[in-house]
Amino acid sequence: MPAVPPSRVARTSAWLFACFVLALLAACAPLPPRNPLAIWVPSKNFDIRKPQLIVLHFTDQGSVQQALDTLRTANPGGPVSAHYLIGRDGHIYQLVSDVDRAWHAGGGRWGTITDVNSASIGIELDNNGHEPFPSAQIASLIRLLADETARWQIPRAQIIGHEDLAPARKDDPGPLFPWSTLAAAGFGLWPDPLATLPDPPPGFDPWMAMTALGYSLDDRPAAVRSFHNHFRGTGGNTLDAGDARILYNLVGKIEQGDTEKP
């Protein structure tokens, strides 16, 4: 019986090993969710979860590594996560797929969206809440926002802070966050300069304008504080004449569809 060439033995062994690996992977691969009580008759008429909103947070922790640990493990306050974390140096980390539901928003609502986790992308920024946000971090955020809004067709105006959707519970990303810098890059709803804004007409209701933006009025002082942090970079829980001018201007932008900046 003729001897089998060593090269042929090597090729056969490699082929058998490849078959073994493929079989192992096939055995381990998760199947699509199917109900065992039903007959699987697949349809092509479906799509994946499409986020409608982007929510910005600060981590309120000491370092990006501490934030990564918290967002990937069970922390004392319960498990939390986000789709992305951006370090102070501008590095972008992804923790949850865009098509999955991260646990970043908690209770709250924005406009008609009441399950914000299911309808949003959550982005955490490494910041303790008391310091300015570095330019490298904001530059990376703007790059990420450009990518996310383009890929998922999220309106560029639909970028809010955690405190906007949960004003009675949260204060992030806080009054130090540079919303105007984002607006200059074309992201987020933003008013024209306050000094140029006219007074609203008689009968204008600033509370109706707040709800038109998306704020819940369940706790009005808290909603005003969040509005002030976002649009004026200051505290206070009562609306003044400047707020009324800003609200009138913002509602006008919404009504005119002037929310998609190039």
pLDDT tens, position by position, 188-226? 999 999 999 999 999 999 999 999 999 999 999 999 999
Which distant-in-sequence residues (6+ apart) come within 8 Å of 134 by Cβ? 88, 89, 90
Please indicate, yes or no, whether residues 198 and 170 belong to a single structural domain of this protein.
Answer: no
Please indicate, yes or no, whether residues 98 and 220 belong to a single structural domain of this protein.
Answer: no
Please indicate, yes or no, whether residues 58 and 118 belong to a single structural domain of this protein.
Answer: yes
For residue 47, tell me if it sits in a domain. no
- Identify the domain boundary among 164, 184, 204: 184
Express each pLDDT in 28-87 by its tens digit: 445 556 788 888 888 888 778 889 999 999 999 999 999 999 999 877 777 899 999 999
Which residue reads 């090269």 in tokens? Answer: 7
For position 58, what pLDDT does the model report?
97
For position 14, what pLDDT does the model report?
55
Express each pLDDT in 126-156 by its tens digit: 999 999 999 999 999 999 999 999 999 999 9
Which residue reads 């493929």 in tokens? Answer: 22
- Identify the domain boundary among 146, 166, 184: 184
Residue 16 has pLDDT above 90, yes or no: no
For position 67, what pLDDT does the model report?
95
For position 221, what pLDDT does the model report?
97
* Domain membership of residue 202 as a residue range: 194-256
For position 213, what pLDDT does the model report?
97
Q: Alpha-carbon distance 225 to 169, whole Å?
A: 11
Residue 25 has pLDDT above 50, yes or no: no
Please indicate, yes or no, whether residues 58 and 180 belong to a single structural domain of this protein.
Answer: yes
Please indicate, yes or no, whether residues 65 and 101 belong to a single structural domain of this protein.
Answer: yes
**Which entry of 124, 131, 255, 260 is annotated as an active-site residue?**
124
- List, in sequence order, every residue forming a beta bridge with 86; answer none if it has no partner: 92, 125
Note if 255 is an active site residue: no
Q: At what angle do helices 206-213 and 241-256 cross, to 10 degrees?
A: 50
pTM: 0.84
Express each pLDDT in 100-117 by its tens digit: 999 999 999 999 999 999
For residue 20, tell me if it sits in a domain. no
Please indicate, yes or no, whether residues 198 and 179 belong to a single structural domain of this protein.
Answer: no
Instruction: Find the CATH number of the domain harbouring 147.
Output: 3.40.80.10
By the 8 A CB rule, do 206 and 239 touch? yes
- Identify the domain boundary among 129, 152, 184: 184
By the 8 A CB rule, do 85 and 38 touch? no
Residue 85: φ, ψ to 5°: -130, 130
For residue 118, tell me if it sits in a domain. yes
